[in-house]
Amino acid sequence: MSRQFEEAAQRWGSGFETWSTEMALPQIDLVDADDEFVVTADLPGFEKDDVEVYITDQTLTIEAERSTERDETAENYIRRERSHRSVSRRLHLPGEVDDGDVSASMANGVLTVHVGKSSTVSEGQRIDID
C-alpha cells in the first residue's frame, strides 16, 4: 500500500505535471513577472470561443470544449465522423492575486493570461478572452 502512495505522490508532483500520459491536459507555463503572474497554455485546435477562464482566490481554471460532426456520401459508402474534445486545468497561483487586474488573449491555439498580484483576497470572477 505504501508503494501505491509513493506512485500517487510521484504523479501529483508539483501540480505542473499531467496526471498521466493518457490524460490530455493543456501544457502550462507559469512566470512570476514582478507585479503579475503570466500563464501560457497550449490549446491546439481550440478557438477562443471554445475556452472559458475563471479565477477564484489564487486558483486559475481553464476549460476548453469543442465538438465537430461531418457527413460524407460517395456512391454506396457513407461516412459520419464525430469528434468531441474537452480539457480542463486548474492552477494554484503562488501568491495573492487581484482579480480586477486580469486579462486573457488567445492566438494560434495559445492562451495567455496576465494576473496582477495583490495583497487582498477577492471572491473571484470570470475572465473574457480578447
Q: How many C-beta neighbours within 10 Å does residue 104 have?
A: 21
Separation CA 55–CA 123 (nearest Å): 9
Place of cell 460532426: 69
Least confident of 23-27, 57-61, 85-89: 23-27
pLDDT score at 1: 59
Residue 26's nearest CA partner among 6, 4, 57, 50 is: 50
* pLDDT surpassing 50 at residue 21: no
Q: And the C-alpha cell for 24?
A: 490530455
Could you give the CA distance from residue 31 to residue 114 in angstroms, rounded to a whole number?
10
Q: Which fold, 24-127?
A: Immunoglobulin-like (2.60.40)
Is the full-model pTM beyond 0.85?
no
Predicted confidence at residue 118, as pLDDT, reads: 83
Confidence of residue 83 (pLDDT cuts 50, 70, 90): confident
